[in-house]
A and B are shown apart, each in its own frame.
Chain A
Amino acid sequence: MTSGADNRTGPYLELFAGRGAGGPVAARRQQAIERFEAAGFPGSRDEEWRQTNLGPILRARPVPAAGGALGEGGALPFLYPDCDRMVFVNGRYAPAASSPPEGVTAFSLADPEGAGSELLAEHLGASVDGRASCSADAGVHPFAALNTALFEDGVALGIPAGTALERPIQVLWLSAPSADAAAGDNGAPASIEVSFPRLLVVAGENSQAAVIETFAAADPAAGGYFVCPAAEFVCGAGSVVRHTRLQADAAGAFHLGFQHARLDRAAAFESSSLAFGGALVRNDTVALLDGEGADCTLDGLYVLAGSQFTGNHMRVEHRQPHTTSHQLYKGVLDGQARSVFNGRIYVHQAAQKTDAKQTNRNLLLSKAALANSNPQLEIFADDVRCTHGSTIGRLDEEALFYLRARGIGFEEAHGMLVHAFAREVTDKATFEPLRRDLEARLFASLNGGRSNGQGG
């Protein structure tokens, strides 16, 4: 970890200085920026970060993304039918494009209502910035802390106890960077528009909710913006919370996301993280199984081409007995794409009868693509079942030949096999419009990203 004298932190500290520090979470924001200042950005020797090249982001001067100018229908291509929705442009709420759910507390963080203020005061940032989140060795997450300190807007959802939402809630984070971000040295932009989307979901006892977050760009060719989102889930006893995170940012975008879930007794948290876009992407996930019988399922898919980088860093903590966690992350890499999967499972001494399973599978479509997979199991209880498996492989040539021998062309056969690989994750999307969207994105990225399509 670098010292507070890190000169790259300066511009971010200035962003903080430039904002009003009021509101129900002022103290937490202050604390977060202090922690960030003390910790600084991760250095190249920081184990959790050494494989993520932050250079292009940190070399640029951050400027807050300008407020939401969204043309008529600009959000439409990204919205699903049969959803309640809240739309944000450059991190700011766009009420005209939104239709928040009824019967629950749902509001923009820039505009907390009376009851909302209490929800925020109690929960927002209470766990994300590292304090209550992890065991001793998990330090401050610098980008989560930055988000807490700097978010301007976001969503808070409070699901009352016993309430089951029938429709998913879609939260669309649309980036529409202004075109004048000038390129500086080494191709990195001299300035970069940054937004800090924030999501808080507090699920009451025995409640049920499904939240779909979509990160996208109004112009898919836009480049050089930086999204630094954080999401917190407080899952009450017996609640069932589903979270889908579709990352479809513009090709040149930087995305460093953090999500944190705390599960009470017998709560279930199902998360699905699907990464298609961006140049440099991180998804850091922390799940704390903090009540007996809590159960989390963490699935992910990353589909990368060109020189995209995506890192998924997982930390699952079993803190109580009879808790279960299942992770399934799959990657498809073409071109010179690179990926990192760091899966840490931490089983506390009290967490007997833990059942933890972690699987990471990578499919390399080109010679230059590179996938890293690092399972890390730390087990301090003796009566547990923990399994992990990781594979890095190539397309099955025998299967490809078999399909072609039946008359299916090279491109189609190739697509079928990649799809067959990925669908283990995408098929889990039970919400039909989402599943179809995922299939379409998968096919689009296969066709768009492939370079060596010669037949035999």
Chain B
Amino acid sequence: MLRVTDLHAKVEEQEILKGVDLEVGAGEVHAVMGPNGSGKSTLAQVLAGKEDYEITAGSLELDGEDLQEMAPEERAHAGLFLAFQYPVEIPGVGNSYFLKAAVNANRKARGEPELDAMDFLKLLRERATLVDVDEALLRRPVNDGFSGGEKKRNEILQMAVLEPRLAVLDETDSGLDIDALKTVAAGVNALRAENRAFVVITHYQRLLNYIVPDHVHVLLDGRIVRSGGSELAHELEEKGYGGFDGARAEA
């Protein structure tokens, strides 16, 4: 489904991704772990099409299509979703209005009929219940004044409403209490399906108890230095990233 090959990206003349290879198949859940500043969010943002980053080498493909050729909205239409590490506050744009615009923009792009107000509301209520988002948050401006946890839940709500094929969750677990974490995980697990895949960026093994990954990758200094099964996450939790210095030196 997703194929990242030897990806190099830089921002302001500083190389941040230094040759990332990542292949995600349909139905799979991949976890990406790594210390602060190793390039996890950069990878996520590059996937979503953020223009601040310049891709200097390598390729990005979703279902065989070159993502670099696509605008951010076209990537979304193709089924890519990024849950932002830092969701953006947008005063003046109502949350449910925004969600409806997003749903219908995607439907339109895919040649599906747009949802009317009634049908959309039904969908929204259902998904809001699924990820335990308070209706009051739907009436407020997008993320405006939301608490950290509310913002993360709102990301998961957007994912649940948009039903992407590939969801990249950038530290959606950070700042969540255990109940919120369980709800977020339940939302993700409810969406798990054969034709859908997840890339879960996290610092903590904790989340991976609830969303059990098929593959775990360690991103260090702009490269994936090790990949393994879910046991790798436990190892990281115990030993930290110190043991990978060698791998980094080798690579």
Interface residues of A (CB under 8 A from B): 396, 398-399, 401-410, 412-413, 416-417, 419-421, 423-424, 455-456
Contact = CB atoms under 8 A, between A and B. Distances in A.
Contact of A456 (B51, B81, B89): B51
Contacts of B73: 404-410, 413, 455
A412 B77 CA distance: 15
A407 B105 contact: yes
Contacts of B93: 416-417, 419-420
Contacts of B82: 405
A398 B48 CA distance: 13
14 contacts: A399-B88, A402-B90, A405-B49, A405-B72, A405-B76, A405-B81, A408-B101, A408-B105, A410-B71, A416-B98, A419-B93, A420-B90, A420-B91, A420-B92
B106 A407 contact: yes
Given A407-B106, A410-B71, A420-B90, 16 more contacts: A402-B87, A403-B90, A404-B49, A404-B72, A405-B48, A406-B73, A406-B76, A408-B102, A416-B93, A416-B101, A420-B91, A420-B92, A420-B93, A424-B92, A455-B71, A456-B49
Contacts of A410: 71, 73
B84 A407 contact: no
A413 B71 CA distance: 13
Nearest to B103: A407
Contacts of B50: 401
Interface in B18-57: 48-51
Most buried by B among A402, A407, A419, A421: A407
Given A404-B76, A405-B49, A417 B90 contact: yes
A419 B92 contact: yes
A401 B51 CA distance: 9
Contacts of B102: 403, 406-408
Contact of B98 (A403, A404, A405, A409): A403
Prevailing SS type, chain A contact patch:
helix
Nearest to B87: A402
B247 interface: no
A38 B72 CA distance: 62
Contact of B109 (A407, A416, A423): A407
A402 B77 contact: no
A408 B93 CA distance: 13
Nearest to B99: A406
B131 to A, nearest CB: 16
Interface residues on B, range: 20 to 34
Contacts of B109: 407
A353 B134 CA distance: 42
**Which 5 A-B pairs have CB atoms at the shortest separation, nearest pair first?**
A420-B92, A407-B76, A404-B72, A406-B102, A402-B88
A416 B72 CA distance: 17
Nearest to A422: B92
Most buried by B among A402, A410, A423, A455: A402
Contacts of A423: 92
Contacts of A417: 90, 92-93
A454 to B, nearest CB: 9
Nearest to A408: B105
Contacts of B91: 420
A171 B84 CA distance: 50
A304 to B, nearest CB: 20
Contact of B162 (A404, A407, A420, A424): A407
B205 interface: no
B110 to A, nearest CB: 10
A393 B228 CA distance: 47
Contacts of A402: 84, 87-88, 90
A17 B122 CA distance: 71
Nearest to B47: A405
Contacts of B101: 408, 412, 416
B158 interface: yes
Most buried by A among B49, B72, B82, B98: B72
B150 to A, nearest CB: 16
Contact of A399 (B49, B77, B90): B90
A455 B72 CA distance: 9
B74 to A, nearest CB: 8
Contacts of B49: 401, 404-405, 456
Nearest to B75: A405
A406 B162 CA distance: 8
B71 A456 contact: yes
A423 B91 CA distance: 10
A406 B104 CA distance: 11
Contacts of A416: 93, 98, 101
Most buried by A among B76, B87, B106, B162: B76
Contacts of A405: 48-49, 72-73, 75-76, 81-82, 84
A363 to B, nearest CB: 11
Nearest to B91: A420
